Amino acid sequence: MLQWLRENGCPWNAWTCSSAAEGGHLEILKWARENGCPWNYWTCTNAAANGHLEILKWARENGCPWDDSTCWAAATGGHLEVLKWLRENGCPWNWQTCTVAAESGHLEILKWAHENGCPWDERTCAQAAEGGHLEVLKWLRENGCPWDEKTYRAACRKNQSEVIQWLRDNGCPGSHDEDEGH
């Protein structure tokens, strides 16, 4: 189908490669690249988000760029083996990797990322609270992740009652303000 579209003048751009990677279509990606289709970091990011390690490996072997969004995409998708491969091969990361792991409830990814030096900050606790991931939030606090009043507000915004109670019981900043309504 893609070949027919190209033969009939259909334009393509980097999203063509990105979509092939997202869907796990290595042969289509190879064909597109052999025929001059451009790509960008979204090809690697979408492969990582969907756990397509073979596509990611091929893309990198063939010069596809990546950036820190590639790591946080793997974390969001719950793909620990992909994240490990990314880091072993020099892919950058930042606080967003821990934050999206917390938001998605991927504790094993969060543990591995933290043990391997990935930064985190108050947003990590806030996202765990907003997602209702109490076990993740407890682990974060036990391991020194900072929190602030945004953690409490995030839990309230999504009406995470069990998390709200735990935050109040454990002295989260903002959890005893009279104007919060909880």
Q: Are 160 and 129 in contact (CB under 8 A)?
A: yes
**Averaged pLDDT score across all residues of the chain:** 93
Mean pLDDT of all residues in 101-123:
98
Encoded tokens for 120: 């985190």
Query: How much is the pLDDT for 178?
Result: 45
pLDDT(70) > 80: yes
Query: How much is the pLDDT for 8?
Result: 54
The residue type at 44: C
In the chain, the percentage of residues whose pLDDT exceeds 90 is 87
Residues of the chain with CATH 1.25.40.20: 1-93, 96-182
Q: How far is CA 117 from CA 18, 92, 110, 138, 160, in A?
A: 29, 12, 11, 19, 30
Q: Each residue of 143-163: pLDDT tens digit?
A: 999 999 999 999 999 999 999
Encoded tokens for 133: 């991931």
Mean pLDDT of all residues in 8-19:
76
Task: Give the CATH number of domain 96-182.
Answer: 1.25.40.20
Question: What confidence tier does 179 reach under pLDDT thresholds 50, 70, 90?
Answer: very low
Task: Give the CATH number of domain 1-93.
Answer: 1.25.40.20
Query: How much is the pLDDT for 15?
Result: 82
